[in-house]
Amino acid sequence: MTEPTGTEPTTEPTAEPTAGPALERRPLGRTGLEVSVMGFGGASIGNLFRAVDDTTAHDAVDAAFDAGVRYFDTAPHYGVGLSERRLGRALAQRPREDYVLSTKVGRLLVRNEQPTGSDLEAGFDTPDDLRRALDYSALGVRRSLEESLERLGVDHIDVVLVHDADDHMDQALTEALPELARLRDEGVIGAVGVGMNGWREPLRCVEAGLVDVVMLAGRWTLLDRTGEPLLEACAERGVAVLAAAPFNSGLLSRAEPRGDSHFDYASPDPRLLEAARRLADLAREHGTTLPHLALHFPLRHRAVASVVTGQAKPAHATASAAWLATPVPEAVWPEADSIVQGVL
């Protein structure tokens, strides 16, 4: 993923959502695991774009857990290990069997011989004493996983995703994924997957029968449905989908979409902005908000097990969980689909 999974800001609702049931849980494909329909994306507590302190990061994880979240995702890439360390500390007092944990491989963290003092060039407001070295080899996968286990302070990881292998697919298919399958067979990990922004490369992995799980960022959202061929293939093969970045980096995160919002980290096309505004009006007519629709849309596909969002603050986690526990009026969807079809 060009940008980390679940990195977009979560907007607190402008009005309190109606109290709903506890967060639903869904099977994670055929893995035997079960996840909450909301997943905690750990990039934000790795200081994505802006720093948060240790206490705020810890409290955000606690708030998500208390709201019913039972799936937590992180990666070495997020804050060059900071996200993994913080998530591990925050979950340390929780029974390990009570949550599903995923991390990623493909980037080893090595000593930075020329630090500048900041990792902001890579998107994280944290010191750059370490740097990332791409490595999709079998040895690199084992080393990455061993180091992640240490940073997280756990003895096993439920799901391991090959991260951002878009330009390294040959090695991912012949080394990284087969090595993860061996680790799964050894009981070190529970499930094997890939995590990317594009849908075509993960589709190759699904068709080759090499993955249990796919994390897809930004390609199955209210305004971007290009990932549908991948989701259909996953549904046919029993591969679970984790839908990340449901707000497309910001445009769908506000009750009132603004021209200065981002869509996939760039200024939105005027047609997309107009569609977002029409969707916001539609949501309001049905007594809800655009972020509520955006969070629920991915779950309409039978292959999707969880929606993964970034949670930098406790209030973000609480608000997102409240929206996901609150049903969307079914009458919204046909008209929402019509609005989007007029744009795509």
What residues are annotated to the active site?
78
164-193 burial, b for 16+ CB within 10 Å, e for fewer? bbeebbebbbebbbebbeebbeeebbbbbb
How many Å apart are CA 270 and CA 47, to the nearest integer? 31
Q: Are 265 and 3 in contact (CB under 8 A)?
A: yes
Structure tokens at 62: 């606690």
What span, in angstroms and rounded, lies between the C-alpha atoms of 11 and 307? 15
> Is the CA virtual torsion 168, 174, 180, 184 positive or negative?
positive
Q: Which residue in the block uniquely carries the two structure tokens 């897809």?
A: 216
